[in-house]
Chain A
Amino acid sequence: MILIQIAMLLGFALILLGLYGALTNRDIIRMIVSFTIADTGVNVVLVSVGYLTGREAPILDTIPVADAAARITDPVPQALVLTAIVIGLGVTALMLAYAYRLFRARGSLDISDYTELKW
């Protein structure tokens, strides 16, 4: 129980910290770094939600199939997190590529320099 709470709070804290960094850091690279932290936070929250206190990993090599329902933890969030992690990497890579292109175009990594489109 406490384990879940610790993990979940950590996850939320990471999300908020990450978002704070992303919203206040003007450096594009630092924004991306912050987002990866927030992403990690989301992953932690996801896993913690699926965790059942005291249960084991959902791998049935040592656990008899018949006992599985009583002994393993919820596998679904884990599957989701796997996907989320990979997607997170994809987005991060994309943002980094964009950052590079932006820098090439304008020689700046300050997000507030890219406001020629507005209003």
Chain B
Amino acid sequence: MSSFPNFAWGQVPLALLTLFIVINYGMIMTALVRKIGARVGGRYGIPIWQNYIDLLKNIALRSKISHGVMYYLAPVFRLTGGVGLLLFVPTIYGSDWHQNFSYAGDLILALYFVFFGTLGMALGAGESGHPHSAIGVSRGLSQVTMAELPLALGVYAISLQYQTLDITQIVAAQQGSIFNWTLFTNPLATIAAMFAFVGTMMRSPFDVVIAPQEIPIGPPTEYHSSYLALMQTNRVLFPVAKTVIYMNLFFGGATNWAEFAIKVFVLYMLTAVIGVVHPRFRVEQSIRFFLKWGLPVGVLAILTV
């Protein structure tokens, strides 16, 4: 099968293993971050296994309704987006095990596949017929158009820098010393990309899309039970998968699971910290923010490469 030159059946269990590790790591890490956030705010916070409880509870719920085909498929799209993203990106550098299916494409595939889940989710939310869902989608899409821009510029800058679109090669170029990280070789691109990172992690100040503290609003409004379970799974998987990309591109990647865990946690924590200290933006405010700060940095990044 010429389309899969590097394919071996052995990759399937390894990919599943990667998936398993990442999901569990995500479960614990997001709970931990929430707990830290609560503690900072003087509250006790949730137990560390809270995510598992939620997941099980949702799966076990008996009330199950459907608003239609797209509604039904949306969580599938969503989770496929997360899983696929993870699988299209090499996780652990230098390990043949954890290259996943990254030969299917390169950085561009990863960047565009991010939208796969978003699109599916938006469609499902749309079909649910709940106006709040649609409002959430509207906000989310509006915000992401600008939030993604600095990332695109940053990625463009580093792919020019490394003259490749291959993630593995980019990670390879950053090995050796901490100063080979893109963070240090191309700080502007990194900063630009971090704007996008912060902007798309659905955390304050950029979390108006799901507006967690208000009446239920946002794309998932109508979702419940096992739909919500799938989405919750994605909610822990997807940030990690995305963080992996940033890690690979800007922070030297990871050569083992420990490094992986630390780097992902630090990066994820970054958004949490910002979220704790910064109040929420309205959508137009965040758009303006990215235009005012993210864009110029991105432009500088591509000009100075």
A–B contact with Cβ pairs below 8 Å: the answer is: no
